[in-house]
Structure formats: C-alpha cells, structure tokens
Structure 1
C-alpha cells in the first residue's frame, strides 16, 4: 500500500475537514490532496530521482511526503541544524536530488543537488503545475532518514511505503478521531516521529497543528487557541512545559493525551507532569527510525496504575516503555544468540512488517528470520513490559565488568538535589574505564559529591558507585532529547 492512499482516503472521507494548520496556512484534507497532486507535477518535471528537504517542516512536511509519493520519488527531510558541509555531504549521497529549502537555509544549500528551490518557489510552482498522480509500488522506498551519526557516519535508513503504511494501519483506526480532535506537532521533520505524526494524524482524521520552533509558552498558547487534544514531545520539551505549568499554574482544558519519547525521560519529571496534568492521559512511546516509529507503548492506564501502585513490581513499570504493539514481535537475546527469559537483560531484536532494517549502501541487516538488531540493551518483565537500558555501545567496562549507565542514572536522578544526570565511561589506565556521573543540580541546590556517591552505593553494588562526579548546567542533547554521550566522553578524556 502506498502512503498516497492514506491521503486519498482522508480527502475522500472528509474533504472539508481542516487537516493542516501551520502559521498562516490552513488546508483542508481536499486542499492538501489537490496541492500534493500539483506539487508532484513539479517533482516529476524536475527529473529528480530523490527529494531532499532542508527546513523546519510545518505544512511543508505533509506536502512533501505526499507529493513525493505521488511522483514515485523518495523524500529525505534533512537536519537543518547541521553545518553547510554536513548538509552537503548528506545531499551528495542522494541520487540526482531536487533540493527544497526554507528561506533561511537556501544559501546553505545553493549549488547542491540536481536543482535547488526555496520552499516558497516550490509552492508557487505547484499552484500552476500540471498534476502528476502515481501510486508507487508498495515495496519501493518512500522515505530515507539519516541516523543522528553521533558516534559514526550517519546511516541512510530506507523506509518503504509498505513499512510506513503497515505501521499506520496496524496502530491507527481510520477516521477514528472526533470532529474536534487536534494534534500539536513540534518534533523535527527529519525525525521518524515527525514523519509518522503527519501520516497517522491525517489517517485518523485529526487536525494537525504545527509548531516549527519550540517554545513552551507558545506550545501552551496553541493548545488553548487551537483546542489541541493530543500532542507529542521529547524529554527536553516536556521539562520546559512542566516548568511553565508549575510557575504559572496554566490550565490545558482540551488536552486529553500527551505522548513523550525520543529518549529516556527521568521518572521525577514524569511524576511531576502527571501531578500537574491529572486529567491528561500520558503515553510513553518507544521506537526507532528503522522500525517506522513506535514498537512499544506505555498506555495512560499503565501510567495511572504504576503511579498509584503499592506493589513494587507494578510501580516499576513507570520506568518501562510499556508493551510491544500487536503488529511487532520482540525478543531479548544473549551474546550467543539464545533467547532470554523474563528479567534477563540482553539485546533487543524486533520483527514485523513495519520494520525496515535496510540502509543505503549497506543493505539489509535483518537476520535470516527477519529479526532486526536494535543495539539497545533491554529486558522484559513477567507481564511483558519492556525496559530499555540504553545502547549496547554505551556500556561501561570497568575492570572487566560490564555496567549499564541506565542502572546508575535511574538511582541518581531520584536524589533530591539532582535535576538530570548522565553516566558515562572515561578512559583510565588502571581500570580501562571509570564511572563518571555528569550531574545537573536541582535549582538552588549545591550537591555534595560524597553524598551523591553514597546515595548510589546505598542502593546498588559498590562496583556501581561513580568514581567521579562532575557538574554541568545542562546536558548536551540532540533535537529529540538524546544525550550526546560521546561529547561528554570526549570532554572528560581531554581534561
């Protein structure tokens, strides 16, 4: 199934429903469909084999997703925060690309690709272009997304039409949204969450409201003014929203669902958000680019039960990513490939139609039975709840012992003088690596190093006690809230 059909169904089912709100742009489902047909004509006439987009998204993202699909050409939203050299390096890896860039990035990409158009030029051409409507082969590539490349050269993940539509149709009921439902989207267009939000909300029949440059107060204003009922945020956004809600006692009467993900969220922040918004259903969504978005969900009921639970086993689920979605299978494997049982940590493998596991220039990394190695350390509890322990390559090897940073972080962040933290391994001539806790103090506090070390030692084995504690005003993160651990390691090794 081509992603074009998702828009076809949406525009046929309720053509006059407002589908996209982005600044001054307000498009109905039918207007988006007709515009996508004409924009597909611009792409087809360019002779491009690929579309690259550099910009903050908004209405441009759904327009390019569907117009590229109707021109049977893959599209790649690129990280507009990259340097000019970084962007050009990625563009050069795409075959005969048509590069479309928002005005503020047009100069950065001048001369790149087969042809360069500003977003405004592309939209003007689309107003008068001859429509082109083609339903791509479901097994062809619809979207290519580059991984963050924080530890190595970015990989180009290929997602087919079938990967994406399998995820949407397997997790979303067509036209299920109420007439007044509206989703606020503020995740970046080059992240899989941005792509899946455009597809899933359109398919559900939900108005999509875009906030292209995140600001917590503007986010709150849009929730109120547009009657937003659902939203998705990354941890840093949630932290800033909570800070404003706490300081200003702001009410969000229409908001019914708030999903968070992209990276791990500290439990004290989750608990605070739940207390500030008791009528909102919180959702923790876990997924990867290679899996076309979400593969596990901690539901609103899961959140409420875990928060109120006296049973430690149930309460612990608040730190999980929930249970796998019905269309995905998961396994936890040991280093020898054997499948592990409940409570046994190992590498997470996933399988399903939404799982791509294919990279440009590398090919598929699926095993013979279709399983994808996520490189995430994880375990399942007895009730099937999935707990993520971080990336396997973040494991600290101290004196020959493997130590998962998340195990220490989960304890340390509960200290009343700690707002946030990251635990990494720094080079050491005696131990190979030592455990370093990088701590962001709680506002107004001055944590004592030995007190923090003792706090960890009191709850974990002595070998998990940080050898060193350093303080920072904030942790370095990417746009989706993932801590840039390699940046911390480089700084520590250089000091």
Structure 2
C-alpha cells in the first residue's frame, strides 16, 4: 500500500464530495486526483527526482503531496521562513528538484512552478507510474526536523510508515459530509502531512488558514462551520485569550479540538476546557520520525481529569495520554531497562509507523525495534505518558539533574503567569544557573522575587530560578516548540554586557 493508492481510494470512494476549501467552490475527491495526476505528469516531464513545496497553507499542499506520490518521487515541504543561507544549504543537497513556490527568486537555478499554476495544469490521461508499481519501501516524504537543540536533519518517511499511521488511527470514509476541519499548522511539519492524509482519507473537508491569528481562527470556525481543528499550544493560549476578550463561548458545532507539538500546562488546558464546554479535546504526541501521533489523551480522558478530586487523575491533564493501539511506548533507564511507573527515563517507541531514519545518518532504530525519541518522561500506573521535555534540555546545576518542566509546571500555576519557560545558562561556579522566562497575563507585572519565592515554597531551593526574565513573548518555532537556545543566548549576552560595564 502507498499514498498513490490512498489518493485513488479517496477519489473512487468520495469523488463527488467537496474535500478541499470552502463549502462552495471547493475541490471534490475526483478533482483532487485529477489535479494531482496532472501535477505528477508535470513532475515527470521536468525530470525531477523530488517535489519541493515552498509556500503557505492551502489546497496546493495536498495536491502536491499526492502529485509526488503519483509521480513516484519524494515530497519535501520546506519552511518558507528559512534564511537565504539555510534554504541554500537545503537546496544544495537536492539533485534535480521541481519547486512549487510563489517566490522563485528564493531558489535561484531551480525549476519552479507557482502554487496556483500547479493546481491548474492541463489534464493528464494517467499518472507517470501506476500506483501498483510504487513499492511501500520507497520514500514518500522528507521532512526537516525543527533543530531546536541541534542542526536540522532530513527525516525519511517511507510509504509504509505513513500508511501504517493512517490505518492505525483513521477509518476510511468515516466523516459526515458536513464535517470540516480547520488546519493552521505549518505545511512543513509532520502534523500538516498527517492532517491532510487522515482528513481526506476519512472524507472530512479540509479548510486552510494560511496565517494564524486567534481572531481569524475563531471567525473561520464560525464562517466555515468547522467541526474539527488542530492547533499548537501557543495558538491555544492565544485563542483562549481572544475568547475571554470577546466574552463568549465557541460555537457548539466545533466538536473536536486537537492540540500538540509542544508541552502545554494543565492550567491552560483546564481553562480552555471551561471555555469550550461542547468540544472534545485531544492531545496528540508524536514526532516527525514516528509519522505523527503515537499517544493520545482523548476527550473522555480530559473530562475525567478535569472533574476528578483525585490529584493523580487530575494530573493527567498534563499528560499526552496513552499509546495508540498500533505502537508500544516504554520509558527506559540508562541501561535500557523499563522504568517502574512514576520513574523518569528515556521515552522509546516501536511499531510499524516508526521510521527513525535520516538521510544524513541512516536508521536510528535499535535492533530490538525500539526508537529513542530523545524525550524524557514517565508513565503512570495506568499507562498515561508524561513528557518532561528533550533530554538535551536537562539542567545540571552543581551536579544535580533538574528538569525544566517541573519548574515550568509550578510557575504556570501562578495567577500572573500566561506562559513560561526554564533553561540552563552556563555558570562558572555551578556549571549551569536556572533561568526562568515569563510572559505575564495582560495587565499583570509580577516581580521576579515574587516568582522565585513561589517556586521555592513549592519545590526547594536547589530548583528555585537564579534569574527571572520578564518577556512580552517567548521565542518559539511555528509549531510552538520553545527555542531555548535563544533564551540562553539572551541571558548570556546580557551578563557579558554587564561584565564589560
């Protein structure tokens, strides 16, 4: 099975159903295949060995995704925010790419085609390759990892990985014809690929929001009668703030709201649940290397945790749920042995959807099938997974390992704190100092010493931030992951400047 066959299934099973764009004038399943087939023929005529996508959200994205599949070449969506140097570096690694973009000047020397032009190519009689000739082991998608703690790498997703995820999490044609999903995650992220595939496979109409603002998101939900949506945590924080400013609840037709991509505090989720009383919340945890979600905290899990007087159950609002049936998740100690419930270790995963492969370094999957996510966390006695953060984020202060997430969870409970992050800053005496970065709620301005005392009372002195920095916003990737390197550089630069005075 491969993505070309998925495209055929969607077109054959839901050929007359509008699946992309607005309720009127959108693309049907049949027209989606026709445009993807035309795109595939164009890719073949260009002699391209991969299809690069450099643009924003919109119907051109899934058309290009399926066009690459029908042409039998890898699909490579790139971050349109990359600097000229970064983009040049990525493009220099490509042999014969065709680039779908409205900014051809950014990829000099490459063959390009505009987004609208690509979606309006002359019809082709057939795709260059039969779907039955495309092997499941061929590369379907290449994605650049976010590189928040290291240089970006090219993650390899083969057809079998994406199809395994799809079959393990979505039922074909299960959506009602009136269902619609709003996609506002960036197109170069695994969530965008997974969203396109899973929603089209289920028969749910996909509506795209090119540039996110909370106001536009809420207005689009109303206008397009959106029933499902996915956001990253920073978006959710802003949507909650916008709702409170408007003084009203969300529409009842929004039945499901998924979030993921980065850690989000239980306090934010509890507040969102109260503002979205008719909406089922889903927290999805996954990685680029696992072809999307591997664990899910479902709507009933959210409701049970919010209503429970048991602290252990309520704490699950801060978890990412339990493993999908198609994968196994364990937490291992340094010797590779499973940790008991509640003990923090390295999160590992195995299953058919797990790729764990990079162009630069090959497969990172161990001989026993386990893939190290490089995330730290623990499982509770019922199998709920709590993610602390990246292993590289651990602060080593005076020889003691300190998890930033533990301090962040405490800071997030302060009434004046909207968002926060904690990072280790180099220090000659202690090895690393603890620096906390706080975005206050509107109209609030907490004193650094007040926040330090708040943490000290609830943890202990060794975990109290040495520095508290008040910011207007945290530096994040478009998918909501905090750029801790920028925070560390900010403090280090300020300390060097102060030392020179």
TM-score w.r.t. the length of structure 2 is 0.95
Q: Is the 8 A contact 2:11 2:30 kept in 1?
A: yes
Q: State which drifts further: 260-269 or 355-364.
A: 260-269
CA distance in 2, matches of 1:15, 1:485: 46
Query: In the alignment, what sits opposite 1:31?
Result: 31
Question: SS of 2:26's equivalent?
Answer: strand
Q: State which drifts further: 156-165 or 2-11.
A: 2-11
Query: In the alignment, what sits opposite 2:498?
Result: none
Q: Is the 8 A contact 2:395 2:403 kept in 1?
A: yes
Query: In the alignment, what sits opposite 1:453?
Result: 452
Query: In the alignment, what sits opposite 1:116?
Result: 112
Question: SS of 1:437's equivalent?
Answer: strand
Question: SS of 2:237's equivalent?
Answer: helix
CA distance in 2, matches of 1:361, 1:210: 32
Query: In the alignment, what sits opposite 2:349?
Result: 350
2:126 to 131, 140, 150: 131
CA distance in 1, matches of 2:354, 2:136: 14
State the shift of 1:251 in Å: 3.5
Query: In the alignment, what sits opposite 1:223?
Result: 221
Q: State which drifts further: 92-101 or 172-181.
A: 92-101
State the shift of 1:150 in Å: 2.8
State the shift of 1:4 in Å: 1.5
State the shift of 1:411 in Å: 0.5
1:114-193 equivalence runs, <5 A: 115-124=111-120, 126-132=121-127, 133-135=129-131, 136-193=134-191
Is 1:236 matched up with 2:231?
Answer: no
Is 1:364 matched up with 2:363?
Answer: yes
Query: In the alignment, what sits opposite 2:212?
Result: 214
* Deviation per residue, 1:395-441 (Å, 9 max, x gap): 00000000000010001110111111111111111100011111112
CA distance in 2, matches of 1:462, 1:381: 27
Query: In the alignment, what sits opposite 1:95?
Result: 95
Q: Is the 8 A contact 1:52 1:91 kept in 2?
A: no
Query: In the alignment, what sits opposite 2:14?
Result: 14
Question: SS of 2:236's equivalent?
Answer: helix
Q: 1:251 to 1:152 in 2, by over 3 A?
A: closer
1:368-407 equivalence runs, <5 A: 368-407=367-406
CA distance in 1, matches of 2:12, 2:382: 42
Q: Is the 8 A contact 1:39 1:131 kept in 2?
A: no
CA distance in 2, matches of 1:49, 1:24: 36
Q: 1:23 to 1:468 in 2, by over 3 A?
A: farther
CA distance in 2, matches of 1:175, 1:23: 18
TM-score w.r.t. the length of structure 1 is 0.96
CA distance in 2, matches of 1:285, 1:25: 32
State the shift of 1:130 in Å: 4.9
Is 1:477 matched up with 2:476?
Answer: yes
CA distance in 1, matches of 2:415, 2:244: 17
Question: SS of 2:42's equivalent?
Answer: helix
Q: 1:25 to 1:190 in 2, by over 3 A?
A: farther
State the shift of 1:262 in Å: 0.8
Q: State which drifts further: 355-364 or 217-226.
A: 217-226
CA distance in 2, matches of 1:24, 1:311: 48
Q: Which runs of 5+ in 2 are unaligned?
A: 495-501
Q: 1:24 to 1:205 in 2, by over 3 A?
A: closer
CA distance in 2, matches of 1:314, 1:44: 54
RMSD: 1.4
CA distance in 2, matches of 1:371, 1:436: 34
Q: Is the 8 A contact 2:61 2:187 kept in 1?
A: yes
The alignment covers a number of residue pairs equal to: 490
Question: SS of 1:107's equivalent?
Answer: helix
CA distance in 1, matches of 2:139, 2:450: 53
Q: 1:92 to 1:147 in 2, by over 3 A?
A: same
CA distance in 2, matches of 1:25, 1:395: 50
CA distance in 2, matches of 1:206, 1:446: 44
Query: In the alignment, what sits opposite 1:202?
Result: 200
Q: 1:361 to 1:251 in 2, by over 3 A?
A: closer
State the shift of 1:302 in Å: 0.5
Q: Is the 8 A contact 2:35 2:123 kept in 1?
A: no
Q: Which runs of 5+ in 1 are unaligned?
A: none
State the shift of 1:22 in Å: 6.3
Q: Is the 8 A contact 1:22 1:58 kept in 2?
A: no
* Deviation per residue, 1:247-295 (Å, 9 max, x gap): 1125412100000111011222211111111010011111000000000
State the shift of 1:57 in Å: 2.7
State the shift of 1:51 in Å: 1.0
CA distance in 1, matches of 2:445, 2:119: 53
